[in-house]
Structure 1
Amino acid sequence: MEHAKQKITTFLMFTGKAEEAMNYYVSVFEQAEILNVQRYGANESGTEGTVAHATFSLYGQVFMCMDSNVEHGFTFTPSISLFVGCNTEAEIDQLFEKLSQDGQVLMPLSRYPFSEKFGWVADKYGVSWQLNLE
């Protein structure tokens, strides 16, 4: 896949789960791929072998992620979410099922006044996804 240079890129910070999450997202979405992974080496600021910086693509949208070696008093919050426009009911149903597995359903997949079919989940890594049938 060829990727145009984005001015703004979503950056996801994990604490030891960046590679696992990235692989998970690439398995959940079609047209997805890991673009680059740089790992912490021996005697660097992060745990050796974990992700210092990585990029992956979902439907041509590039994301960055890393493993922080610092434990923070915060994590992901639904205040910021990734909004996915789905073309078919099969697509929204599949994404909702996979992303909600071991996660949390914030709004059930249903019809709402603003959408024919919509669902909002926080996945097992805490990343929030709004799914909308377009």
Structure 2
Amino acid sequence: MLINDILRAASLVAMISLASQAGAQTLGPGEHVKPVFQQKLPNVPGKSMIAVIVTYDPGGKSPPHHHAGSAFIYAQVLSGSIRSKVDDAPARIYKTGENFYEAPGSKHGISENASKKVPASLLAVFVVDTDDDKLTVPDN
């Protein structure tokens, strides 16, 4: 039993370490990115699922950016409201409980807290090539 507990703890530490190396980074003022999960998909060779929680301070935002070319992203607003604009779609405000997705190759022109007074957060789940080392890259 003790060996199983040790192996589980070591596995958790390794997973957290890998998630923090998975390319999640803070890009903009008032933006905080926390890796929370990473796992290779056993039924889809070469693909992994990575999850991060993005928290925006009041008025916080990310600069225009894109994600790894292989990344399909599902985002769920956990608290507050997030203004988002992907590709040529109009900007939209998503509130707690609402969700959106980004297809591979999408450009994320706006990602910000819609409030200047209340923090906001979202869960972003990436399905990505396992060997992609940067999840998010700022646009020039």
Q: TM-score, normalised by structure 1?
A: 0.29
Q: TM-score, normalised by structure 2?
A: 0.28
Which structure's residues are more often strand, by fraction? 2
Q: Larger RCO: Structure 1 or Structure 2 (Cα < 8 Å, ≥ 6 residues apart)?
A: 2
